[in-house]
């Protein structure tokens, strides 16, 4: 089972390598020594992560050569239909701007966000899918995520692992994390692993550094999602081999932020997100959709702030009200609003990689497919060992809690094939 197609290095320009996938070119950061033109490599998240033996690469490419072009054709067909005549007035004018590849204004995004009629929304999703296809082709990246600790010093009002909530806590040992990662690589072919936890200070700078160094030996992209830590810690972890970081700002509205995240401010969080980018991390950021008191303008401001932070990956999840948290009675956001947000983000930021989060899958089983057809192009598969998965209860009734990793992967492969997506790196 393989989650990434190997590519051939066809050009090297300083620290950028140009990779070829069956005639398609992608630029990635050259982050390894001794890489030369004509080498075969794996890349993830726009970073070259491992050189591959030529014989191994050619064997994998041989299994993909016909399928790759079949998938491309399926993707192109699915990205063709759009019935612009179903739009009128201002929305039609915005659609014309998208077709002319013009920059959309805040007013344009508000017009799109005001669409409610299912027929109009289906045009928006189709157009977003076309933009995704035009910019990224059928590339889709699939990363694995290991939730290694549900301890958290934070107390965010919407979160099911906040420190005030009485839940069974767990913390994987370094040996368990390494064994889970090795299994993900050896059995399932993953090339990028997200390490996620609450803000668990048991895993201090030294322990994290030790862990990152050990994982680095495995030739994968190490993606951190460990919350607020000193900039110096993030620098040390980068030096140890971590290359990507996920940190959402959650809302661009400072008043709502302060209400929901005690003892911290939006400014502090944004400063850290900008520092992560400066250090050199591939950045994933975004926000929660549907926080109480947010207005349509807040949602559009959230998209614009995401754009301004210039992440390599956009991550938007719906708020899912969770038992025993202060937001238990907040209204559940609709799947349509999440899809609409993904589609607006896609047309506003054609180059972005947009993630389908498991929170969206929790709202609806069909949502993953719908999101991939509304502009999204990245996914994560939960690799957390089954005994811990239900305990990482950031919200209620999480999707895939009961599914084996193998079954989840099989389902994802089938979905990608149905939609004509190929697991090559999405590039920079």
Nearer to ligand SF4, 250 or 425 (CB): 250
Span interacting with ligand SF4, options 118-126, 147-155, 209-217, 346-354, rule CB under 6 A? 147-155
Give how many residues touch ligand SF4 by CB under 6 A: 10
Question: Crossing angle, helix 106-113 and helix 335-348, to 10 degrees?
Answer: 150
Does residue 273 touch ligand SF4 according to CB under 6 A? no
Nearer to ligand SF4, 42 or 395 (CB): 395
Q: How many residues does the chain have?
A: 428
Does residue 199 touch ligand SF4 according to CB under 6 A? yes
In this structure, which long-range contacts are made by residues 13-19, counting pairs with CB atoms below 8 Å and at least 24 apart in sequence? 16/428, 17/41, 17/43, 17/48, 19/43, 19/48, 19/425, 19/427
Q: Are 262 and 79 in contact (CB under 8 A)?
A: no
Does residue 326 touch ligand SF4 according to CB under 6 A? no
Span interacting with ligand SF4, options 113-121, 155-163, 176-184, 214-222, rule CB under 6 A? 155-163
| Binding residue (CB under 6 A) for ligand SF4 from 159, 184, 291, 424 | 159
Does residue 161 touch ligand SF4 according to CB under 6 A? yes
Instruction: Determine whether 130 is exposed, middle or buried from the number of CB atoms within 10 Å of its CB (0-12, 13-18, 19+).
Output: buried
Nearer to ligand SF4, 188 or 203 (CB): 203
Span interacting with ligand SF4, options 69-77, 95-103, 159-167, 318-326, rule CB under 6 A? 159-167
| Binding residue (CB under 6 A) for ligand SF4 from 95, 156, 247, 272 | 156
Does residue 152 touch ligand SF4 according to CB under 6 A? yes
Can you say whether the dihedral through the CA atoms of 254, 281, 61, 406 is positive or negative?
negative
State residue 160 phi and psi, 5-degree precision: -80, -10
Question: Crossing angle, helix 266-279 and helix 231-240, to 10 degrees?
Answer: 30
Residue 313's Cβ-side half-sphere holds a number of Cα atoms within 13 Å equal to 28
Please report how close the Cβ of residue 299 comes to ligand SF4 at its closest, in angstroms: 19
| Residues 6+ away with beta carbon under 8 Å from 99 | none
Nearer to ligand SF4, 155 or 209 (CB): 155
Please report how close the Cβ of residue 305 comes to ligand SF4 at its closest, in angstroms: 18
Nearer to ligand SF4, 174 or 199 (CB): 199
Does residue 154 touch ligand SF4 according to CB under 6 A? yes
Please report how close the Cβ of residue 400 comes to ligand SF4 at its closest, in angstroms: 19
| Binding residue (CB under 6 A) for ligand SF4 from 6, 137, 144, 198 | 198
Determine the 3-state secondary structure of 345 from DSSP. helix
Q: Are 256 and 157 in contact (CB under 8 A)?
A: no
Determine the 3-state secondary structure of 177 from DSSP. helix
Task: Kindly identify the residues of this chain, within the stretch 162-181, that bind ligand SF4 according to CB under 6 A.
Answer: 162
Residues 220-239, one symbol each (x = binds ligand SF4 by CB under 6 A, - = not), give: -------x------------
- Other C-beta atoms closer than 10 Å to the C-beta of 186 total 10
Q: How far apart are CA 375 and CA 300, in angstroms?
A: 17
The site for ligand SF4 (CB under 6 A) is made up of 152, 154-156, 159, 161-162, 198-199, 227
């Amino acid at each position: 089972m393989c989650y990434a197609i190997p590519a051939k290095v066809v050009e090297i320009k300083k620290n950028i390598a140009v990779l070829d996938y069956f005639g398609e070119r992608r630029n990635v950061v050259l982050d390894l020594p001794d890489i030369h033109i004509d080498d075969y490599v794996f890349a993830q998240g726009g970073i070259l992560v491992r050189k591959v033996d030529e014989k191994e690469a050619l064997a994998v490419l041989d299994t993909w050569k016909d399928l790759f072009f079949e998938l491309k054709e399926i993707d192109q067909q699915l990205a063709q239909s759009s019935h612009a005549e179903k739009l009128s007035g201002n929305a039609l004018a915005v659609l014309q701007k998208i077709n002319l590849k013009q920059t959309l204004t805040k007013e344009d995004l508000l017009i799109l966000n005001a669409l409610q009629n299912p027929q109009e929304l289906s045009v928006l999703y189709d157009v977003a899918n076309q933009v995704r296809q035009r910019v990224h082709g059928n590339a889709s990246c699939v990363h694995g995520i290991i939730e290694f600790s549900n301890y958290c010093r934070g107390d965010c009002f919407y979160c099911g692992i906040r420190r005030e909530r009485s839940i069974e806590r767990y913390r994987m040992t370094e040996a368990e994390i390494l064994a889970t990662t090795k299994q993900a690589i050896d059995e399932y072919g993953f090339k990028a692993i997200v390490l996620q936890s609450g803000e668990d200070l048991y895993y201090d700078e030294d322990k994290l550094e030790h862990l990152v160094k050990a994982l680095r030996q495995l030739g994968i992209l190490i993606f951190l999602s460990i919350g607020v830590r000193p900039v110096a810690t993030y620098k040390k972890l980068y030096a140890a081999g971590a290359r990507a970081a996920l940190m959402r700002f959650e809302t661009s509205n400072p008043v709502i932020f302060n209400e929901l995240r005690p003892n911290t401010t939006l400014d502090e969080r944004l400063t850290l997100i900008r520092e992560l980018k400066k250090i050199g991390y591939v950045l994933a950021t975004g926000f929660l959709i549907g926080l109480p008191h947010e207005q349509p303008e807040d949602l559009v401001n959230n998209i614009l702030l995401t754009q301004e932070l210039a992440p390599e990956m956009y991550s938007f999840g719906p708020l899912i009200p969770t038992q025993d948290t202060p937001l238990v009675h907040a209204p559940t956001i609709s799947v349509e609003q999440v899809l609409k947000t993904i589609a607006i983000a896609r047309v506003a930021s054609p180059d972005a990689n947009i993630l389908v989060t498991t929170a969206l899958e929790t709202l609806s089983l069909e949502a993953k497919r719908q999101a991939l057809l509304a502009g999204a192009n990245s996914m994560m598969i939960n690799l957390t060992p089954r005994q811990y998965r239900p305990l990482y209860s950031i919200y209620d009734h999480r999707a895939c809690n009961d599914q084996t990793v193998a079954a989840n992967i099989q389902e994802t492969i089938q979905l990608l094939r149905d939609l004509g997506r190929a697991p090559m790196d999405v590039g920079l």
